[in-house]
Each structure stands twice: as structure tokens, then as C-alpha cells.
Amino acid sequence: MAPDGFYRVALGVEYKGSRYSGWQRQLTGVATVQEELEKALSKVANSPVSLQCAGRTDAGVHACGQVVHFDTQVDRSLKAWVMGANINLPHDISVSWAKVMPAHFHARFKAIARRYRYVIYNDQIRPAHLNEEITWNHRPLDVERMAEAAQYLIGTHDFSAFRAGQCQAKSPIKKMHHLRVTRHGKMIVLDIRANAFLHHMVRNIAGVLMTIGAGERPVEWMKEVLESRERRSGGVTAHPYGLYLVQVEYHDEFPLPERFIGPHFLTGFSELDG
């Protein structure tokens, strides 16, 4: 709950994570998205601002649908929060909207689903453009095999085999709502929606899917990895650069402004909608 005399503001945030050590502020003085955003908002408020986010992204991971909230006593218009923050933010972080929320809203604990996209550039030649915003895989990948393997993960499962050793989640059991694999020219998009995610879960799934897509393992290997519940059976962790937090969902009592599902360079592919 927001303290008495304070009101709670939610923000939509997007960022390129390449030069940050993840979302969460750290004691070592390394650059993080949270620190940059808190500094910018504190200038707008002329007082300290402390943020809570919907999902703490790792080093190198991007977001175009991150949701955060903070409590403040300062009277500012919603436009002032957005424009004021953006004036004070570096070029690779942007606030897209602001909204006053009920006092019991919480960006993280009230979220009911999160959605990520992992973007693979599939060609023999490494790309000169977007090289920190997509993952390059030079091996020809069979999207149909990848899509077939992905179906083993739909539903409620113990995802321990896709969980990083340093994961702090209380339970490895998550509900996967969808996992779609589609090709768009040279790009392959993994679109993953679940109630919550474990540390490195999407990147570990992407690593298994690319191994299957390259023909190095059979489609059924996905089922074997899942049922093993052991991380060492799941192959390599895919690079962070292609990973985007694209959407966070809440119950209807917490309506938020709607924007396109990113990242920006995929918005022209209508078949990704939905």
C-alpha cells in the first residue's frame, strides 16, 4: 500500500540493456537501468524516488513493456513525469506513459502474466546492424521442428531444467500460456507468455530450441530436458541480446495504457499480433 499522504504512479518503460548490468541497482557502482531511472525521476520530483518493477531483467536484456511504480507526495502532471524523466534519461532508456494507480497496485506482485520475445537473426553472415539487439545464429534453423518442440512446454510444469543456479524464485513450477516460434525473413521470433519466469528461463529455452532447430538433437529432447528437472541436461544458455520483456498483464481493476507489442523493428509483422 502507498503510505498515507502519498499517491502511487505507474510508468511504462523501455530500454536497450546492452550497456547495463541488468535492471536492479547494485552496490558496486556499475550502470543499471533502475539507478538511471531513479536519478531522472528524482530530478523531476526534486526529492528521492524509489522504484519497484514488474520483472528484473538481466545484464544485456532489453524491455519495451516494463512496468514500474513509485510513491510520491509531489504534485506533477502525468505529462511532466513522462517528459521530465525522458529529458533526464540517457538515450537508451525511455518512459512511454504514466498513470496514477490505486494504493494497493504493485508492479511486481499484482502482475498475472509476463510476455517475452527472443529474436534470432538466422544467416551465415553476422549482421552489422542490430548486433546488440538480436541473437545471431549462423546454422540453418528449422522453425517447424522448433515449434513442435515448444509444445512440450505449454501448461503447468516444473521448469527446474531451465532455471539458473542463482535463481531466487520460491518455486520452479510455472504456467506457460503460449510459446510460438515464427520466421520472418532472416529473423526467427520466440514469443513466450507465462504467469512468471525463472532466472534465465527464456534464454535456456531458446538454447534448447536452437539446438533442436539446427538438427543436433531430436524434437523429443525438449520433453527429456523438461522431465529431467536438472539444469545440466538443458544445454547452453542463449545470449541475452535477443531477449525483450514486451508485456506485463494485470487484472482488469488495474487498467494500463496500451501500446504495441515490441520490439519496434517487429511491429510491421502483423502475424505476430495477438
CB 219 within 8 Å of CB 145:
yes
CB 254 within 8 Å of CB 134:
no
Which of 42, 59, 60, 43 has the alpha carbon at shortest distance from 51?
Answer: 42
58 is catalytic: yes
Please check if 118 is assigned to a binding site. no
Residue 248 corresponds to which cell in the numbers above? Answer: 506485463
Containing 148, the helix (H) or strand (E) segment is helix 143-150
Residue 270 is given by DSSP the state G
Q: How far apart are CA 82 and CA 255, in angstroms?
A: 18
DSSP reduced 3-state for 88: helix
Measured torsion, CA atoms of residues 122, 126, 130, 135, in degrees rounded to the nearest 10:
50
Q: Which of 4, 58, 75, 158 is catalytic?
A: 58
DSSP reduced 3-state for 176: strand
- Burial class (CB within 10 angstroms; exposed 0-12, middle 13-18, buried 19+) of 109: exposed
Q: How far apart are CA 11 and CA 73, in angstroms?
A: 16
- Burial class (CB within 10 angstroms; exposed 0-12, middle 13-18, buried 19+) of 140: exposed
Catalytic center residues: 58
Annotated binding site for substrate: 116
Annotated binding site: 116
